[in-house]
Amino acid sequence: MEMNAFVHFTTNTFTGKEWGYGDEDKAIFNPTALDAGQWAKTLKETGFKMLILTCKHHDGFCLWPSKHTEHSVKNSPYKNGKGDVVKEAADAAKKYGLKFGVYLSPWDRNHPEYGRPGYVSYYRNQLRELFTQYGTVTEMWFDGANGGDGYYGGSREARKIDGKSYYDWPNTLKLITGIQPKVLFFSDAGPHLRWVGNESGVAGLTNWNCLSPDTVYAGKSGIEALLNRGDENGSHWIPAETDVSIRPGWFFHEKENDRVKTPEQLFDIYLTSVGRGSTLLLNIPPDQRGLFHEKDVQSLYGLKELLKKELGKNLAYKAKTTASTFRGKQSTYAPANLTDGQKQTYWATDDGITSGSFEVDLGKPSTVKYVMLQEYIELGQRVKSFAIEAWQPGGWKEVATGTTIGYKRILKIEPLSTQRIRVTIKDAKASPVISNVEVF
């Protein structure tokens, strides 16, 4: 799905905070022109596939009229307490052909029972509401953050929990899959998608899709580097999702209007996330009106233009290809599959052959700025080391080297004129299986 959007919205949008304490007055939640259709339309038009909404952030305020708490939109002035922002977002996503995902913060600084068993039941009741009332939920985003102190029903104290055992994750997840079995779970450790280890939009230069979940869990310190690069020999398939905000914070703050990331910055993030075999989860926080701010919208359309300008015209489409070797000398595995524009066809070597090269002839000398490679990911992630060369008068010139490829790898190179590109797979865990090469 490559590009997905996060939408952070709660009382913080009105208080200027990033982490609400949990004692916020419900009366401050009053977006004056909320239009989830504007969010979804903008996202659809600029290339995003899913919208994930913070249904409840750490402050505990619920964007839907939950039966299980008074701390929600139902006691706010928004639509005189008759509003349901989760419904508006889910409906808008559907209308514009986006998938929908939910964020429900496990840490809740408002709830009196937080830290005790009662809260876990409350949390599960809320999940039940979200998974039964709003249609298909494609991704469930579990945030590992927990800062300790909070309002907690008036106690105003610090409460410690054991992140590994407190929420009884196995049973909590079972409850959800009992309702929607196909949902994808995101958390530090998966089980389906892992955190990339930072909030700056950068997946590892080496990025393995595998990980051994036992080595990481929410709240454990010092795991960022491991999450960032994955584990070549990890026991489970848990690709990294790269979450980052278009603004310095996760929530809208007027004073940060001049620090909205530019299209160029977003494009760089695209290269370090999607271009490194990760999915991008870009946060665009609505403002106090309940709209994506003009500045943010402008940057998103700017990104779309840049993607088209830089990566819009594949010079290698249907280009002539040759290879050092291919599996059984059968056309099913021939190098022509690399440039046929088909995802389901690929070039592969014989069993036991873990290196090899292929060459792409662009037909005429062309200026090249990027090379994109894709493994046929259904057969696993295999490549450990590769190099890219461009033909120059007098011989081959190495223009890039890399370790992992994965679902997609985009190499930005020093622009040069060339007619032929050679990719050498130097090492792989098994015979390399490459479905696509594109040149821009």
Residues forming the site for ligand FUL (CB under 6 A): 18, 143, 145, 243, 250
Look at residues 5, 124, 102, 3 and name the one whose alpha carbon lies nearest to residue 56: 102
**Cα–Cα distance between 202 and 243 in angstroms, integer?**
9
Residue 135 or 249: the one with the smaller Cβ distance to ligand FUL is: 249
Closest approach, Cβ 363 to ligand FUL, in A, equals 46
Measured CA distances, 346 to 145, 341, 403, 421 (Å):
41, 10, 20, 18
Residue 190 or 402: the one with the smaller Cβ distance to ligand FUL is: 190
Closest approach, Cβ 262 to ligand FUL, in A, equals 21
Look at residues 209, 165, 161, 219 and name the one whose alpha carbon lies nearest to residue 187: 219
DSSP assignment of 403-423, as one string? S--TT-EEEEEEEEEEEEEEE
Residue 279 or 424: the one with the smaller Cβ distance to ligand FUL is: 279
Closest approach, Cβ 286 to ligand FUL, in A, equals 14
Residue 123 or 250: the one with the smaller Cβ distance to ligand FUL is: 250
Which helix (H) or strand (E) is 371 found in, with range?
strand 356-375
Q: Which residue is nearest to ligand FUL (CB)?
A: 145
Question: Can you list the positions of beta strands (E) in 22-69?
Answer: 50-56
The residue assigned the tokens 């760089």 is 268
182 CB-near residues (< 8 Å, 6+ apart): none
Residues 414 and 389: beta-carbon distance below 8 Å: no
**Cα–Cα distance between 439 and 317 in angstroms, integer?**
8
- 276 HSE (CA, 13 A, CB side): 25
Residue 20 or 335: the one with the smaller Cβ distance to ligand FUL is: 20
Residues 420 and 390: beta-carbon distance below 8 Å: yes
**Cα–Cα distance between 214 and 238 in angstroms, integer?**
12
Closest approach, Cβ 59 to ligand FUL, in A, equals 10
Closest approach, Cβ 250 to ligand FUL, in A, equals 4
Look at residues 68, 90, 241 and name the one whose alpha carbon lies nearest to residue 180: 90
Q: Give burial (CB, 10 Å; 0-12/13-18/19+) of 394.
A: exposed
Residue 138 or 337: the one with the smaller Cβ distance to ligand FUL is: 138
Residue 114 or 250: the one with the smaller Cβ distance to ligand FUL is: 250
Closest approach, Cβ 212 to ligand FUL, in A, equals 22
Residue 223 or 399: the one with the smaller Cβ distance to ligand FUL is: 223
Number of residues assigned to the chain: 440
Closest approach, Cβ 175 to ligand FUL, in A, equals 23
Alpha helices in 134-222 (DSSP H): 169-179
Closest approach, Cβ 389 to ligand FUL, in A, equals 40
Residue 28 or 145: the one with the smaller Cβ distance to ligand FUL is: 145
Backbone angles phi, psi at 375, to 5 degrees: -85, 150
Residue 20 or 239: the one with the smaller Cβ distance to ligand FUL is: 20
Closest approach, Cβ 267 to ligand FUL, in A, equals 21
Strands 193-195 and 240-245: parallel
Residue 282 or 306: the one with the smaller Cβ distance to ligand FUL is: 282
Closest approach, Cβ 405 to ligand FUL, in A, equals 28
Closest approach, Cβ 52 to ligand FUL, in A, equals 10
Residues 23 and 71: beta-carbon distance below 8 Å: no
Residues 353 and 368: beta-carbon distance below 8 Å: no
**Cα–Cα distance between 66 and 69 in angstroms, integer?**
6
